[in-house]
């Protein structure tokens, strides 16, 4: 089984983003309990920060129980629960902002990994790189520690918030689930 491990020490994840994960798991009470156990808490606080290592351990438990398809389905269920700020109103915009959102919701040594005042990102968690290749087509490169199939569902789900008929495919080449450094996905709508 693929091991999900942080790319750098002292990384934490904002609870609000993980609370979406816990909300989705309500339909799987055993997995929700496993998630809370992995985080070492009985009650989840969406305003706290949690060690990424524990979050990744929880993803591993979901992978063990649901497998790749389950992770993908799970990832796809998260975007409909996320509130978007004004200005994000199409698939290109939401996908191009995914890396900034990702960094904003992670911190290193207690400091958010995106400084909103300067736009400066702190390295250490990988990226969601966006490349527009057509009117309704993008390539997304993921080199982060989260599961490949989860990212496939997550990216497709974000695109589906603003576009119909989203098709998602994994490009040939490396894959994190097979020990590669990155995954590249083609998204069309």
Residue labelled with tokens 């808490």:
41
Q: What is the pTM of this model?
A: 0.90
Q: Is residue 99 part of a domain?
A: yes
178 and 121 belong to one structural domain: yes
73 and 125 belong to one structural domain: no
Share of the chain above pLDDT 70, in %: 98
Q: Is residue 22 part of a domain?
A: yes
91 and 177 belong to one structural domain: yes
Name the pairing type of β-strands 49-51 and 111-112: unpaired
Q: What is the CA radius of gyration of the chain?
A: 16
Q: Is residue 1 part of a domain?
A: no
Q: Is residue 41 part of a domain?
A: yes
Looking at 53, 79, 105, the residue that finishes a domain is: 79
29 has a pLDDT exceeding 80: no
The predicted pLDDT at position 41 comes to 86
The predicted pLDDT at position 150 comes to 93
Closest CA to 129 of 166, 88, 67, 183: 183
Q: How far apart are CA 15 and CA 12, in angstroms?
A: 9
Answer yes or no: are the C-beta atoms of 185 and 176 closer than 8 Å. Answer: no
66 and 129 belong to one structural domain: no
Q: How many domains does the chain have?
A: 2
113 and 168 belong to one structural domain: yes
114 and 171 belong to one structural domain: yes
Q: What is the pLDDT of residues 104-114, one digit of tens each?
A: 999 999 999 99
What residue ranges in the chain does DSSP mark as E strands? 11-14, 49-51, 106-108, 111-112, 128-134, 137-142, 167-170, 183-188
Name the pairing type of β-strands 106-108 and 49-51: unpaired
Looking at 48, 79, 110, the residue that finishes a domain is: 79
43 and 113 belong to one structural domain: no
Q: Is residue 5 part of a domain?
A: no
Size of the chain in residues = 189
Whole-angstrom CA distances from 17 to 50, 82, 97, 163, 166 are 10, 8, 15, 23, 23
Q: Is residue 60 part of a domain?
A: yes
Looking at 61, 79, 97, the residue that finishes a domain is: 79
- Residue 24 belongs to domain spanning: 11-79
What CATH number is attached to the domain comprising 144? 3.90.1520.10
How is the beta sheet containing 49-51 ordered, strand by strand? 49-51, 11-14, 106-108, 111-112
Q: Is residue 2 part of a domain?
A: no
127 and 149 belong to one structural domain: yes
Q: What is the pLDDT of residues 50-104, one digit of tens each?
A: 999 988 988 888 888 888 888 898 888 888 877 777 889 999 999 999 999 999 9
92 and 156 belong to one structural domain: yes
46 and 133 belong to one structural domain: no
Q: Is residue 97 part of a domain?
A: yes
40 and 20 belong to one structural domain: yes
Q: What is the pLDDT of residues 143-158, one digit of tens each?
A: 999 999 999 999 999 9
The predicted pLDDT at position 1 comes to 56
Closest CA to 176 of 49, 68, 24: 68
């Amino acid at each position: 089984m693929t091991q999900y491990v942080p790319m750098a020490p002292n990384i934490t994840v904002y609870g609000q983003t993980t609370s979406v994960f816990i909300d989705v798991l309500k339909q799987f009470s055993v997995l929700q309990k496993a998630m809370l156990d992995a985080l070492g808490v009985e009650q989840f606080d969406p305003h706290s920060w949690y060690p990424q290592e524990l979050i990744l351990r929880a993803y591993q438990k979901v992978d063990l129980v649901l497998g790749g398809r389950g992770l993908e389905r799970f990832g796809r269920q998260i975007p409909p629960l996320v509130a978007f700020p004004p200005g994000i109103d199409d698939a290109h915009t939401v996908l191009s902002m995914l890396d900034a959102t990702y960094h904003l919701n992670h911190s290193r040594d207690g400091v958010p990994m995106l400084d909103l005042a300067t736009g400066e990102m702190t390295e250490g968690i990988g990226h969601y790189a966006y490349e527009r290749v057509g009117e309704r087509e993008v390539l997304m490169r993921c080199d982060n520690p989260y599961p490949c199939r989860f990212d496939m569902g997550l990216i497709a789900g974000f695109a589906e918030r603003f576009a119909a008929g989203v098709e998602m495919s994994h490009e040939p080449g490396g894959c994190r689930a097979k020990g590669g450094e990155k995954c590249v996905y083609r998204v069309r709508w």
